[in-house]
Structure 1
Amino acid sequence: MKFTGTETYVATADLTVAVNAAVTLERPLLVKGEPGTGKTELARQVAASLGLPIIEWHVKSTTRAQQGLYEYDAVSRLRDSQLGDERVNDVRNYIRRGKLWDAFVSEGRSVLLIDEIDKADIEFPNDLLQELDRMEFHVYETGETVRAQRRPIVIITSNNEKELPDAFLRRCFFHYISFPDMETMRRIVDVHFPDIRESLLTAALTRFYEIRDMSGLKKKPSTSEVLDWLKLLLAEDLSAEDLRAPGKDALPRLHGALLKNEQDVHLFERLAFMARGGR
């Protein structure tokens, strides 16, 4: 059972090594990288490549670790008891399974995605240490212990919004997805737009990397954004000459796909103004 990438996902050699090492070690794979570099999609593609079901847990700022295990709905039980509902006699009726529970009792092996773990409270990763280590947890309301039938492949993503605790990091296999170089980006584009003209692709990627290398840019455009931009360029039937015409310091055509805040738009406007001699 080896991951080698898929027809729709270009995985570099070091990324495939990281995925397969984590699977062999039976440790969570912690994936970091710029937003838009395919961290979340990696879990889906690993599942597709290995023919496994995927269970996705998308973490928010209000998410608690306990929600990944289960939640006990005491309010509903109290309400039902007041209404004389017979369901109150079985506490299991008020236990809501979380994503870890689903992964633990899944028939056969599964892929568990814990997405953007750094969005949650700093204690969130520590609260999952024992469950991810032992692959089991106790349900206090029913007295049962839920154990993983097959250890799931756990992929955890982070955008580095918060530092993760050392105790948590020690239990993970770590990989940082570097931003794709020009050649890798060409392979990625070829998956999505196999018929794109070579001249347009060269001009677009040259312009894209020039923008990423600009000093003072608040948010560098990502892989997903260059794919959106290329889709628009093709829809508008623009040519390589259309991209080169305005000059290096001018706003790129259809810049809304690449620049996502007014500060970066104003930066281009100032550069264009200076290039015209301040007139």
Structure 2
Amino acid sequence: MKFDSTDRYIVADDLGIAVNAAVTLQRPLLVKGEPGTGKTELARQVASALDMPLIEWHVKSTTKAQQGLYEYDAVSRLRDSQLGDARVHDVANYIKRGKLWQAFTAPARVVLLIDEIDKADIEFPNDLLQELDRMEFHVYETGETVRALHRPVVIITSNNEKELPDAFLRRCFFHYIRFPDADVLAAIVRVHFPDIKPALLTTALTQFFEIRETPGLKKRPSTSEVLDWLKLLLAEDLSPEDLRRDGKQALPKLHGALLKNEQDVHLFERLAFMARGQR
């Protein structure tokens, strides 16, 4: 099994090496990078390329590690006991399997995505150390031990909102997705918009990188945002000439797809004002 670029997903060489190394080592692949650089989509594409089912666990600020294993619904069992329901005699009826349980007991090897692990409490990664390392866990209510039938390919994403524990990092293969250069980004765009005219693509990406590298920008636009922007440009049938900016209009066309806060909009308005003052 080897992961590489597909007709729908462009993979930089170092990212392909990281995925294949993690699969070979049978360790979780921890992927960091700016929001919008395709970390979540990577897991979907790995599952597709390796012909494996995908199980997605999207982590929230309230998510607990135990939920990935299982949850015991004691309230429902109490209610059923009061109603005389026969199900109450088997505690297994009140065990809800989590994403790790589903991945461990799948009939074939799967890709398990643990998405945005840094959103959860700082103890969340530590609470999963043994389970991800040993590929097993104990269910105290039933007395059973759940062991992985096939070791899943585990991909963990992080937006770097908080530091992850060293003990957790030691068990992972790490890769940081750098923002693609102009050539790679152009290839990504062509995958999504194969009929885009070369002149429009060149002009749009030149302007995009100028915007992204503007000093003082609070939130730099990402890959997903440039794709949204280009989709709008194509829908409006704009030409390269339509994208040109001058001193009076520093904001890009349809800038709402690229600039996501008022500070950055005001920054470009100030730049336009300064440019007019220098004339």
**Residue aligned with 2:246, SS:** coil
Offset, 1:276? 1.1
- Read off the aligned partner of 1:158 and give its amino acid letter: S
Corresponding position of 2:57: 57
- Offset of 1:5 from its aligned partner? 2.3
Look up the match of 2:149: 149
Q: Is the 8 A contact 1:249 1:271 kept in 2?
A: no
Report Cα offsets for 1:22-64 as digits up to 9, x if no partner. 0000000000000000000000000000100000000000000
Cα separation, partners in 2 of 1:206 and 1:151, compared to 1, 3 Å: same
Alignment map for 1:94-109 (pairs within 5 Å)? 94-109=94-109
1:271 correspondence with 2:274:
no
Q: Secondary structure at the match of 2:277?
A: coil
Conserved? CA contact 2:245–2:252, under 8 Å: no
SS for the counterpart of 2:266 is helix
Q: Distance between the aligned counterparts of 1:189 and 1:171, measured in 2?
A: 35
Distance 1:118 1:238 in 2: 40
Q: Distance in 2 between matches of 1:249 and 1:94?
A: 62
Question: 1:19 aligns to what?
Answer: 19
Q: Distance in 1 between matches of 2:50 and 2:217?
A: 39
SS of match in other structure, 2:9: coil
Identity of aligned residues (%): 81
Give the aligned partner of residue 131 of structure 1: 131
TM-superposed deviation, 1:249 = 6.7
In the alignment, the residues of structure 2 paired with residue 244 and residue 121 of structure 1 have an alpha-carbon distance, to the nearest angstrom, of 46
Following superposition, the deviation at residue 278 of structure 1 comes to 7.9
Q: Is the 2:247–2:276 contact (alpha carbons within 8 Å) kept by the matching residues of 1?
A: no
Residue identity opposite 1:73 in structure 2 = D
The question of whether the paired residues in 2 share the 8 Å contact of 1:5 and 1:45 is answered with no
| CA deviation vs aligned residue, 1:214-268 (integer Å, no higher than 9, x gap) | 0110000000000000000000010111111435970000000000000100101
Q: Which residue of 1 aligns with 2:211?
A: 211
SS at 1:164's partner residue?
coil
* Residue 278 to residue 82, structure 1, CA distance change in 2 (3 Å): farther
Contact 2:217 2:264 in 1 (8 A): yes
Going from structure 1 to structure 2, the CA distance change for 1:19 and 1:247 (only over 3 Å counts) comes to farther
Secondary structure at the residue paired with 2:3? coil
Tell me the residue number matched to 2:173.
173
The residue number in structure 2 matching 1:259 is 259
Deviation at residue 167 of structure 1 after TM alignment: 0.2
Amino acid at match of 2:159: N
**Contact 1:249 1:275 (8 Å CA) reproduced:** no
- Code of the residue aligned with 2:172 in structure 1: it is C
Q: Please show how residues 234-245 of structure 1 align to structure 2 within 5 Å.
A: 234-245=234-245
C-alpha distance in structure 1 between counterparts of 2:27 and 2:101, whole Å: 18
What SS does the corresponding residue of 2:207 show, helix, strand or coil? helix
User: Contact between 2:103 and 2:152, CA under 8 Å: does it hold in 1?
Assistant: yes
In the alignment, structure 1 residue 69 sits paired with structure 2 residue 72 = no
- 1:81 maps to 81
Shift in Å, 1:4: 1.1
Aligned length: 279
TM-score by length of 2: 0.98
- Indicate conservation of the 8 Å contact 1:57/1:115, yes or no: yes
TM-score (norm 1): 0.98
Q: Distance in 1 between matches of 2:5 and 2:202?
A: 25
- Counterpart of 2:93? 93
Identify if the C-alpha distance between structure 1 residues 6 and 90 changes in structure 2 by more than 3 Å, giving closer, same or farther: same
State the AA in 2 paired with 1:276: R
Equivalence for 2:159 = 159
**8 Å CA contact retained: 1:5, 1:46:** no
- Structure 2 counterparts to residues 217-228 of structure 1, below 5 A: 217-228=217-228
Q: Which runs of 5+ in 2 are unaligned?
A: none
Task: Give the counterpart letter for 2:269 in structure 1.
Answer: E
In 2 relative to 1, CA 248–32 (structure 1 residues): closer, same or farther, beyond 3 Å? farther
User: 1:135 & 1:150 partners in 2: Cα distance?
Assistant: 9
For the residue of structure 2 that corresponds to 1:96, the secondary structure is strand
Corresponding residue for 2:110?
110
Segments of 4+ moved more than 2 angstroms: 245-249
Question: In structure 2, how many angstroms separate the alpha carbons of the residues matched to 1:41 and 1:277?
Answer: 45
CA distance in 2, matches of 1:277, 1:184: 38
Match of 1:197 in 2: 197
